[in-house]
Amino acid sequence: MEDLSILSAEEMTGLNYMCTCGKNHSVGIETIKVGQGVITGLPTVIKSYEGEKVFIIEDTHTLSVAGKKVEELLKEKFKVSKFVFNEEHLHPNEATLGRLLLEIPGDTSLIIAVGSGTINDISRFLSCKLRIPYVIVGTAPSMDGYASVVSPLICDSVKVTYDGVYPLAIVCDSDIMKDAPMLMIQAGLGDILGKYTALADWHIANILNGEYFCPEVEKLVLTTLKKCEEAAAGVKSRDAKTVENITDALILSGIAIGMVGASRPASGGEHYISHCYEMMFLNSSEDVQWLHGNTVGVGVGVVAYAFKYAKDLDINEILTKGDYAHLDKNKWKQNITDVFTVSATNIIEFKQDSINFNEEERKASINKIVSNWDVIKEICDVNVPEPEEIIKTLKKAGAVWNPKELGLDKELFRKSFIAAKDMRNRYGILQLLEDIGMLDEAANYITNIYYK
């Protein structure tokens, strides 16, 4: 088996092999093109559809940056039709999908999505439902969903993840992507940096709960992540190579999720923090400019501090003191209510049965942690960079790094750190800190760093 970590996203297409982790890893994407000028290769990529109907999905913005070029390239040999969304903020909801069903011509052989987040998500879903393959022509390196197999959509005003399909091909021209709004490029970098803490959380879940883990996928993600980190200084100048590295890493991150069949290699505590902020913004109904990757970037610094805090703890002293044994349910509920306001009831309902309030069970779980403490400390130490380094990288790219900039006041930041993990049911450093009764203290420690 060749070393996965030296492969670019382009070289991973068609991969299918039995891994040392015991799982068969496969990548069901035929073609991936990342680089300067690659858009001109689109007619060759979809050559087998010559003479057939292709349907382009885009919005007014992506039409002008890439859609026109796509049409020009395809009009001679393909029967091209299109639908252009006019909305300033397109939502992946029932209305958007309904509109596409009305517009897509019968006998369409291929869908071509021109855009990033929402356009990609709705095109993937449509492709899956209608059984018509789709190609994504990326316009911004803002998120890791290009190579994803699921579509997060909004149904009845609630975000739900639906099944989708891999795109037939991904075409990301860095000459187009480098001119994306700066916030989107910074978001891409933020989402990538998040893989540090995501991978460390995955390790911890493997050690303490025996959760499936693949070291080869970890190595693959880490290698591309380091390339991005080194290139961060090129973000502000829109350096084409930097944008290419970020795009490559975002596509590989999607591929890694597909390879292990779970989002573990791409999403951990930093994503719960990010989801928590996103939900707070939604509840406050203020118009917020931040994208998913921007809040993930802030979250990865915060969670890196959590790892740093954990590794310096004296676990035996905590065990002897015994404070960990009692978790106050009312206090837990109140904190969630303060952070999530109108959505709090849903979160409490979702999480309360899996939170451990029982003293005997809490003793059993801390004992497990104590007996694995050396390995956990090593993960905190070796796998997660110093938080200051992560913040430095974000600053180099001109990206948001401080929760204050997101509009969170000191008290709300502290409470959100405690509540964030309750949005999901997955183990990681934040849950570990709660298990040993140190989550509140960690929250104070981190709050005093960001809000000194």
> Where on the chain is the footprint of Zn ion (CB under 5 A)?
19, 21, 191, 214, 216
Cβ-based nearer residue to Zn ion, 335 or 416: 416
* Smallest separation, CB 211 to Zn ion (Å): 14
Cα separation of 400 and 451, whole Å? 15
Q: Is the separation of the CB atoms in 78 and 51 below 8 Å?
A: yes
Return the sign of the alpha-carbon dihedral for residues 267, 272, 273, 275.
positive
Among 65, 118, 66, CA closest to 87: 118
* Smallest separation, CB 247 to Zn ion (Å): 15
* Smallest separation, CB 143 to Zn ion (Å): 6
Cβ-based nearer residue to Zn ion, 191 or 278: 191
Q: Which SS3 state, helix, strand or coil, does residue 136 take? A: strand
Cα separation of 216 and 204, whole Å? 17
* Smallest separation, CB 251 to Zn ion (Å): 13
Q: Which SS3 state, helix, strand or coil, does residue 263 take? A: coil
Cβ-based nearer residue to Zn ion, 21 or 319: 21
Joined together, the tokens standing for residue 276 give 């928590």
Cβ-based nearer residue to Zn ion, 19 or 90: 19
- Close Cβ partners of 134 (under 8 Å, ≥ 6 residues apart): 110, 111, 112, 113, 123, 124, 126, 127, 165, 167, 168
Cα separation of 361 and 292, whole Å? 36
Token pair 């939502």: residue: 91
* Smallest separation, CB 21 to Zn ion (Å): 3
* Smallest separation, CB 20 to Zn ion (Å): 6
* Smallest separation, CB 195 to Zn ion (Å): 9
Long-range contacts formed by 435-438: CB under 8 A, 24+ apart: 435/324, 435/356, 435/362, 435/365, 435/366, 435/369, 436/313, 436/315, 436/318, 436/324, 436/366, 436/369, 437/318, 437/323, 437/324, 437/325, 437/326, 437/327, 438/309, 438/310, 438/313, 438/318, 438/324
Joined together, the tokens standing for residue 396 give 């180099």
* Smallest separation, CB 221 to Zn ion (Å): 12
